[in-house]
Amino acid sequence: MKKLFMMIALMALPFAMQAQTTFHDVEANDATGKVKKIESSQMGRQQVITFSPEGKMQQEGLSDAKYDANGYLQSAKMNARGMDIVVTYKWENGKIKSQSMDMGGQGFSMTFAYNDKGAVVSQTMDMGGQEMKMEYTDIKYDAKGNWISRKTSMMGQEMEQTRTIEYYE
């Protein structure tokens, strides 16, 4: 009986582990692991994103999320201050390579570059043919390897982005 129980437990383990990463919304937010909540702050603007135990993003204003067969977010609709924004994602090697946004007919896209720890070190924004590159420096990490502080400069203004990450145990 003990052997049978152990075999069932060993067979269930991969399915339980798979259930923890059914969705890759955590990676879409430049983090890894069993993330429960990310609270971020930049230029006085606060943002809170929560995640289900399966990794699915739960954010106010997020709707119509579409996923591929492997659980990677392909597109979603977000409502920001009354404006609907359609966001589409392109993935490469488990990281977002680029994302495009349609804000009421206005196109906007971003491409990302990563360091060896998997954190975004720069992003290039294309706003209707005008490109702007933001590089991140002084990146600090938590014990799980996710960034919790980084600095950048945008249009001559220095800024720091911080975030607190809460994990499922």
Q: What is the pLDDT of residue 119?
A: 87
Per-residue pLDDT at 21: 53
Cβ atoms of 49 and 69 within 8 Å: the answer is: no
Residue 65 lies in a domain: yes
Is this model's pTM higher than 0.85 or not? Answer: no
**Residue from 101, 152, 104 nearest 127 by CA:** 101
Rounded to 10 degrees, the C-alpha dihedral 161/166/168/169 comes to 120
Quote the CA–CA distance of 58 and 37 in Å, as a whole number.
9
Confirm whether 5 is domain-assigned. no
Tokens 């990310």 belong to residue: 38
Hey, how many other C-beta atoms are within 10 angstroms of the C-beta on 117?
Answer: 12
pLDDT digits (tens, 9 = 90+) for 78-125: 877 777 888 899 999 889 999 998 877 778 899 999 988 888 999 998
Asked, for residue 82, whether it belongs to a domain, the answer is yes
Q: Collapse the DSSP code of 11 into the 3-class scheme (helix H, G, I; strand E, B; otherwise coil) and give the result.
A: helix
Question: What is the pLDDT at residue 6?
Answer: 34
pLDDT of residue 36: 95
Please give, one letter per residue, the 3-state secondary structure of 58-103. ECCCEEEEEECCCCCEEEEEEEECCEEEEEEEEEECCEEEEEEEEE
Residue 9 is assigned to a structural domain of this protein: no
DSSP label at residue 55: -
Residue 22, in any domain of the structure = no
Q: Is residue 58 part of a domain?
A: yes
Residue ranges of the chain whose pLDDT lies below 50: 1-20
Kindly state whether residue 6 falls inside one of the protein's structural domains: no
Residue 13's contacts (CB-CB under 8 Å, 6 or more residues apart) are none
Q: How many domains does the chain have?
A: 1
Q: Is residue 134 part of a domain?
A: yes
pLDDT score for 108: 85
Token digits for 168? Answer: 């499922």
Q: Among candidates 71, 74, 34, 63, which has minimal Cα distance to 51? A: 34
Q: Which domain holds residue 57?
A: 28-167
Consecutive H or E run containing 148: strand 147-154
